[in-house]
Amino acid sequence: MSSSFMGRDVISILDFKRDELEKLFELSDKARRLVNRKLRILEGKVVSLAFFEPSTRTRMSFEVAAKKLGADVVGFSSEESVSVAKGENFADTVRMLDSYSDLIVVRHRLEGAAKFASEIALNPVINGGDGRQHHPTQAMIDLYTVRELFGGIDGLTYAVVGDLRYGRAATSFIYALTLFKPSKIYLASPPILVARPEVTSLLKSRGIDFEELSRLDEVVGEVDVMYVTRVQRERFPDPSEYEKARGAYRITLKLLEKAKRSLKILHPLPKVDEIELQVDSSRHAAYFLQASLGVPVRMALLAMILGGEL
């Protein structure tokens, strides 16, 4: 069943086919039923977590997933990585980790770092986020959440909101949708944070119906899934522009008055104030469910890559 995943690198969600993701989701269903048990599927395997850029959520999620499967976990995150701070080159660090582990999860601030790592390492590499580009496991979790909420991914209208230029979760989510048949994708962002040319040109070449917007309120009533990401202050040279943008893409109960009852809001977390606190307890908030699905999806993925039968 897991043959196409065995020993495979996970660099971009675009490396996967729809039916492969569907297999992963089926196995994620199974992992959810087992999530409270300590398994021995990956006993004797070592998973390295190489976080050259700090991340609490992604790192812990991988660590818990690996440990629940019985693997041992080693690794570092940037603050504690002495040799990395001293300027040891990336390639040497990857080679070292590869020599004593069966799989490496890499997060790095530079785009392409995980791909480069996968060319050096003999064992599989999972991209835990590279710069602004890819975050494939997040995209897998996001799609799995939509499938859980709506019973499928096709035929829905999506709005991806916030920083589409530098946000790797938003970018990966858009890439992921190109593997399915969304009814329409709205891309709502401030003008300086629009999706990069490689993203929009892929949407065009795959014949996806999409529209770039600078206002969300006009289309909110059409949307089934709203994927919200943070707009960061440091992206704006002018503070007043930031304040304007923050207001325009903030998800409030007032904005949601126009929404379908069935609208669901996703967010890769952590969130700051881009979603009004009161929205958390509304019928629309799905981001806590989404966060809780991180471990089972990553368990399924690790098991499939390392050849464990769930």
Partner 1 sequence: MSEPTLVVSKIRAGTVIDHIPAGRALDVLKIIGLSGREGIRTAIIMNVESKKLGRKDIIKVEGKFLKQQEVSVIALIASTATINIVEDFKVVKKFNVEIPELIEEVITCPNTTCITNKGNEPVKSRFTVVSRKPITLQCSYCGTLVFEDELHRLIKV
Query: Which residues fall within 8 angstroms of residue 112, CB to CB, at 6 or more apart?
Result: 130, 131, 133
User: Is 108 a residue that touches partner 1 (CB under 8 A)?
Assistant: yes
**Residue 157, helix vs strand vs coil:** strand
Which residue in 304, 256, 310, 298 sits closest to 139, CA to CA?
A: 298
Nearer to partner 1, 146 or 203 (CB): 203
Nearer to partner 1, 201 or 292 (CB): 201
Of 68-97, which residues contact partner 1 (CB under 8 A)?
A: 87, 89-91
In the block, tokens 């043959």 appear at: 3
User: Is 198 a residue that touches partner 1 (CB under 8 A)?
Assistant: yes
Of 141-180, which residues contact partner 1 (CB under 8 A)?
A: none
Q: Which of 56, 201, 214, 292 binds partner 1 (CB under 8 A)?
A: 201
Q: Which of 5, 116, 158, 236 binds partner 1 (CB under 8 A)?
A: 116
Nearer to partner 1, 131 or 307 (CB): 131
Q: Which of 68, 132, 135, 298 binds partner 1 (CB under 8 A)?
A: 132
In the block, tokens 């992206």 appear at: 235
Closest distance of CB 110 from partner 1, Å: 5
Q: What letter represents residue 103's amino acid?
A: L
User: Is 187 a residue that touches partner 1 (CB under 8 A)?
Assistant: no
In the block, tokens 């006009």 appear at: 218
Please state, as a whole number, how many other Cβ atoms lie within 10 Å of the Cβ of residue 101.
Answer: 22
Which residue in 196, 197, 201, 194 sits closest to 178, CA to CA?
A: 201
**Which range touches partner 1 (CB under 8 A), out of 144-152, 191-199, 232-240, 258-266?**
191-199
User: Is 3 a residue that touches partner 1 (CB under 8 A)?
Assistant: no
Q: Give the span between the Cα atoms of 284 and 244, in whole angstroms.
A: 25
Strand order in the sheet with 72-77: 72-77, 46-51, 103-108, 125-130
Nearer to partner 1, 166 or 210 (CB): 166
Binding residues (CB under 8 A) for partner 1: these are: 87, 89-91, 108-113, 115-116, 130-133, 196-198, 201
